[in-house]
C-alpha cells in the first residue's frame, strides 16, 4: 500500500481521435506546475497519478495541481493491488483507524465502487453492497446513508491491476489545457476586469500573452509594476507570459491636441486595438482578449464596441466578461488572487486626459473624421517599434 494523488480530467474524454493531443498537453502542464517538487507522474486509463513524493510536500502538490486547467478533481488515495481480499482489508483498516480518532456511533457512510477493470468478478453495485455489509458487520454503530453520508468510501478498480481507495474528491479548475485552443493577446489594463478575462480564456485553452499601454510620466512606474505583478499572478494559471509594454504617451498627447474632447476615449481605444492586432499578426497570436463589460463605462456600449470592432480586420476580439455583473467579476478576481493588486491606487493610461463627457453612442463616420486629424499609421508603427517585451516566467 502507498499513498498517491489521483487526478481526473473532464472534457478531454469527449475528444475522440484528438484525445491524445489534449492528454499530452495536460501532462505537460501538470509537469510544469510541479517543476520544483520531486515526484513522479504517470498516466493510467482515464487518470493521472502523482507518486513518490515526500509527505511534507503533499499539500503543496495539491495546491499547485488544483490550478491546472483540464483537471476536474483530485484525491489523496491508497494504492493497493487489486484483489477482493486486499480491498476488504484496506476498507476495514480505514474504519479501524477512524475509530481510534472519533466515536463512530451514528456516523453515516456509503460505499461507492467504480469497476473500470471488467475482469474483477463482482459488478460495481454488487461489490459496493458486499463491502458495505462487511463494514457494518464489524462496526455495528455505523449507519448507512446513500444520499448524504458523512463519509463516502470510494473504491476505484482500474485496468492497471491496482485499486485506489479514497474518501474525498477535491475540485480543480476544470476547463481545457492551456495552449489547446491557440494563443491570445490580453489587453491588460491594471483594473479588475482584464485579469479575470485572461483567466477565463486560459481556462478554455488559450495560451495567454498580454499587452499594456503606459503613458509615463502621466502614469507612474508603480502603475507599470502593478501590471507586471498582475501578469505574474496570472502565470500561476497560464504559465509563461510575454507582456508587451507599449509606450502610449505620444499617442495620447496627439489625440488630446487634435481630436474633439468627447471622442478622445473612442479614438484612443481604436488605436489600442490597431496596435494589439499588429502585435498579434507579428507573433502569430490568434485573438485579442479584453475585459470589456457591456454598459459598465461609457466606452463599453454596443455602439462603442461596434466602432472598436470595425478597426480590427483579421483577428477575433474575445470579451469573456461582457455579460457579467461587477460582483461576479470581483468574486472571480478574489478567487484567482488578482483583486488586491487590481485595486492598488495607481492609474492606468485610460484615466489620462479623461474627458468630462465622453461620447457613449459614437457614429463611425464621426469617428473616422476625428481620425483624419492624426497620422495614425505613423503613430501605430512608432509605438510597436518601441514596445518593450517583459518575460513573465512561471
**4-60: pLDDT as tens digits:** 999 999 888 888 888 899 999 999 999 999 999 999 999 988 789 999 999 999 999
> Facing residues of 318 across strands?
289
Determine the pLDDT at residue 351.
Answer: 60
**DSSP characters over 226-292:** HHHHHHHHHHHHH-SEEEEEEE-HHHHHHHHHHS-GGGHHHHHHHHHHHHHHHHHHHHT--EEE---
If residue 200 lies in a helix (H) or strand (E), which one and from where to where? helix 193-203
Determine the pLDDT at residue 291.
Answer: 96
What grid cell was written down for 270?
481604436
Contacts of residue 175, Cβ cutoff 8 Å, sequence gap at least 6: 11, 69, 70, 202, 203, 204, 205
Task: Say whether 111 sits in a helix, a strand or coil.
Answer: strand
8 A C-beta contact, residue 157 and residue 113: yes
Other Cβ atoms closer than 10 A to 325:
11
Determine the pLDDT at residue 350.
Answer: 59
The pTM of this model reads 0.91
- Split at pLDDT 50, 70, 90, the class of 300 is confident
Determine the pLDDT at residue 46.
Answer: 79
DSSP letter, residue 206: P
Instruction: Count CA atoms within 13 Å of residue 165 on its CB side.
Output: 24
- Split at pLDDT 50, 70, 90, the class of 353 is low
8 A C-beta contact, residue 317 and residue 273: yes
Which domains does the chain carry? 2-171 (3.30.2130.30), 183-392 (3.40.50.620)
- Which of 179-199 are b and which e, b meaning 16 or more Cβ less than 10 Å from the residue's Cβ? bbbebbbbbbbbbbbbbbbbb
Q: How far apart are CA 222 and CA 347, in angstroms?
A: 9
Rounded to 5 degrees, φ, ψ at 239 are 70, -155
- Is the per-residue pLDDT at 357 higher than 80? no
8 A C-beta contact, residue 328 and residue 296: no
Location of C-alpha cell 461596434: 306
Q: How far apart are CA 71 and CA 177, in angstroms?
A: 8
Determine the pLDDT at residue 235.
Answer: 96
CA distances from 179 to 88, 115, 202, 243, 335 (A): 43, 33, 8, 17, 22
Contacts of residue 303, Cβ cutoff 8 Å, sequence gap at least 6: 360, 361, 362, 363
Rounded to 5 degrees, φ, ψ at 151 are -130, 130
8 A C-beta contact, residue 168 and residue 5: no
pLDDT, tens digit, 9 for 90 and up, residues 74-98 = 999 999 999 999 999 999 999 999 9
8 A C-beta contact, residue 74 and residue 6: yes
Antiparallel, parallel or unpaired: β 71-81 and 2-9: antiparallel
What grid cell was written down for 343?
485595486
8 A C-beta contact, residue 218 and residue 183: no
8 A C-beta contact, residue 8 and residue 71: yes
Average pLDDT over residues 123-146: 95
Amino acid at each position: 500500500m502507498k499513498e498517491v494523488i489521483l487526478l481526473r480530467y473532464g472534457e478531454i474524454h469527449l475528444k475522440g481521435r484528438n484525445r491524445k493531443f489534449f492528454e499530452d498537453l495536460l501532462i505537460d502542464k501538470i509537469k510544469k506546475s510541479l517543476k520544483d517538487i520531486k515526484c513522479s507522474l504517470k498516466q493510467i486509463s482515464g487518470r493521472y497519478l502523482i507518486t513518490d513524493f515526500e509527505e511534507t510536500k503533499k499539500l503543496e502538490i495539491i495546491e499547485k495541481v488544483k490550478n491546472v486547467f483540464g483537471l476536474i478533481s483530485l484525491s489523496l488515495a491508497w494504492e493497493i493491488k487489486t484483489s477482493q481480499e486486499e480491498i476488504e482489508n484496506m476498507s476495514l483498516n480505514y474504519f479501524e483507524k477512524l475509530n481510534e480518532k472519533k466515536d463512530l456511533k451514528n456516523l453515516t457512510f456509503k460505499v461507492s465502487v467504480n469497476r473500470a477493470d471488467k475482469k474483477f468478478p463482482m459488478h460495481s453495485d454488487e461489490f459496493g453492497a458486499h463491502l458495505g455489509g462487511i463494514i457494518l458487520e464489524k462496526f455495528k454503530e455505523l449507519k448507512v446513508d446513500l444520499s448524504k453520508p458523512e463519509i463516502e468510501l470510494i473504491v476505484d478498480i482500474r485496468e492497471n491491476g491496482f485499486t485506489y481507495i479514497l474518501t474525498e474528491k477535491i475540485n480543480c479548475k476544470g476547463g481545457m489545457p492551456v495552449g489547446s485552443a491557440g494563443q491570445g493577446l490580453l489587453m491588460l489594463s491594471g483594473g479588475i476586469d482584464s485579469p479575470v478575462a485572461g483567466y477565463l480564456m486560459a481556462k478554455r485553452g488559450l495560451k495567454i500573452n498580454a499587452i499594456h499601454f503606459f503613458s509615463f510620466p502621466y502614469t507612474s512606474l508603480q502603475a507599470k509594476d502593478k501590471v507586471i505583478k498582475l501578469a505574474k499572478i496570472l502565470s500561476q494559471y497560464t504559465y509563461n507570459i510575454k507582456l508587451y509594454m507599449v509606450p502610449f504617451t505620444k499617442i495620447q498627447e496627439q489625440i488630446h491636441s487634435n481630436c474633439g474632447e468627447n471622442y478622445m476615449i473612442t479614438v484612443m481605444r481604436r488605436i489600442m486595438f490597431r496596435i494589439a492586432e499588429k502585435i498579434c499578426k507579428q507573433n502569430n497570436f490568434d485573438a485579442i482578449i479584453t475585459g470589456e463589460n457591456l454598459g459598465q463605462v461609457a466606452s463599453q456600449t454596443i455602439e462603442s464596441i461596434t466602432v472598436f470592432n470595425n478597426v480590427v480586420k483579421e483577428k477575433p476580439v474575445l470579451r469573456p466578461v461582457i455579460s457579467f455583473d461587477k460582483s461576479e467579476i470581483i468574486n472571480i478576481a478574489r478567487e484567482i488572487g488578482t483583486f488586491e493588486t487590481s485595486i492598488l491606487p495607481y492609474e492606468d493610461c485610460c484615466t489620462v486626459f479623461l474627458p468630462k463627457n465622453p461620447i457613449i453612442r459614437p457614429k463611425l463616420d464621426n469617428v473616422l473624421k476625428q481620425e483624419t486629424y492624426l497620422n495614425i499609421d505613423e503613430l501605430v508603427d512608432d509605438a510597436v517599434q518601441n514596445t518593450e517585451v517583459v518575460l513573465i516566467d512561471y
